[in-house]
Amino acid sequence: MASLNVLNLTETTFSDQVLNSAHPILVDFWAEWCGPCKMIAPILDELAEEYSGRVAIGKVDVDSNQNLAVQYGVSAIPTLLLFKGGHVVEQLRGLRSKKDLKTVLDKVIA
């Protein structure tokens, strides 16, 4: 179960919550059947709490939102895209450690 601080993003809400976000937002493209996606979920929950008010964390289920996955060239999951000012500023594929993710987030808010 995702943290209350993690946004559930859909094709309908993506523009408002990601492209028009006042804060940087890390978007996790995932699927329920994906093992590495399940492994990274608790890390993202922790980061959502630790970076609350500075960086948002959101999740896009690629099975339910295939158009977003295609639009952003997601060919493997998990894929993490970091948006700032409506643009992708960082792209990470595969399972990453909390330390790696914090390094990327700290760089974008510095």
Catalytic residue IDs: 34, 37
Rg (CA), the chain: 12
Structure tokens, 37: 């996606």
Amino acid letter, 82: L
- Total residue count of the chain as it appears in this document: 110
